[in-house]
Structure 1
Amino acid sequence: MTVHEGGCHCGNVRLSYETNIPPAETELRACQCSFCRKHNSLAAADPSGRLSIRVKNEDLLSRYGFGLRTAEYLVCRDCGVYVAAVTSNTEEKRAIIVVNALDERAQFTREPLLTVYDAETRDERIARRHARWMPVKWSIEH
């Protein structure tokens, strides 16, 4: 697997995205909800890959939930960068990475798919995330 590193601007949140999909072939999703549009978010996930999130100061990590509250949107409180989203209602946590937070973001060149999830029920949203998002591992550095 190839590992793509990234994180927030100030370094409080660091990310490692492991995948076998080349950056230029990675499906990018441009969610059209108001939160993602305000952040100009491009999301990616490889269900066969893995995301690792390392946080230096957990007090500086905002876990924002909205809508159906089936995910937490991770934003650094210090520098304001949106880095990832993690499921909040399942035992096995799944995640997407925000490609803009990756150090090699310029390599992810595929045309983004405009996505609208407004018509999904809570159960449909959870099922889609379980199928399409990737496993995630957290660690808090002290």
Structure 2
Amino acid sequence: MIAHRLGGSCACGAVAVEVGLGRELAAYSPRACDCDFCCKRGAAWLSDSAGFLRLRTNAGQDLKRERQGSEQAEFLSCAACGTLLAVRWRDDDGHAYGAVNARVLARHDEFASEQGASPKLLEAAEKTARWKVLWFADVEVATG
């Protein structure tokens, strides 16, 4: 059951973000990844396997898609302003899992303190197993 719906966007407003979360906001501790890619872009990842993640671009806008590290997941940024919004991974069946950069969400200051994360220490199979458990299992990316 979804207890909270939060919206957000990139810095320029070209991409809207919406998440559905099942618990009180203070029950979530965004994960601040320690890799160079995430640190340089100010990412702290939030997810809820029972919730949802939606990204919608304005008409004529696009997302920048990048891979780094193990190149398993794609990082989604606004092509116009460069704000890092989300990360998404598809399993072999094409099912999309993802996490949102908590810092782009309204009310992000109501989450619990960020906790450090070091996914670069995990093997590829360990990462995907973790993503299936932690990440949003309902992810949609659409053009408005």
The TM-score with structure 2 as length reference comes to 0.89
Tell me how far 1:60 sits from its aligned partner: 3.2
Find runs of 4+ consecutive structure 1 residues off by over 4 angstroms.
none
Structure 2 unaligned blocks of 5 or more: none
Contact (CA 8 Å) 1:69, 1:88: kept in 2 or not? no
Q: Where does 1:86-125 land on structure 2 (aligned, <5 Å)?
A: 86-90=88-92, 91-108=94-111, 110-125=112-127
Tell me how far 1:129 sits from its aligned partner: 0.8
% identical equivalent positions? 24
Alignment counterpart, residue 5 of structure 2, candidates 3, 18, 22: 3
Structure 1 unaligned blocks of 5 or more: none
Tell me how far 1:88 sits from its aligned partner: 4.2
Contact (CA 8 Å) 1:71, 1:89: kept in 2 or not? no
Aligned partner of 2:65 in structure 1 is 63
Letter in 2 for 1:100: R
The TM-score with structure 1 as length reference comes to 0.90
Alignment counterpart, residue 35 of structure 1, candidates 30, 34, 37: 37
CA distance in structure 2 between the partners assigned to 1:52 and 1:23 by the alignment: 18
CA distance in structure 2 between the partners assigned to 1:112 and 1:106 by the alignment: 10
Tell me how far 1:18 sits from its aligned partner: 0.2
C-alpha RMSD of the superposition? 1.6
Contact (CA 8 Å) 2:15, 2:78: kept in 1 or not? yes
Q: 1:57 to 1:126 in 2, by over 3 A?
A: farther
CA distance in structure 2 between the partners assigned to 1:126 and 1:111 by the alignment: 25
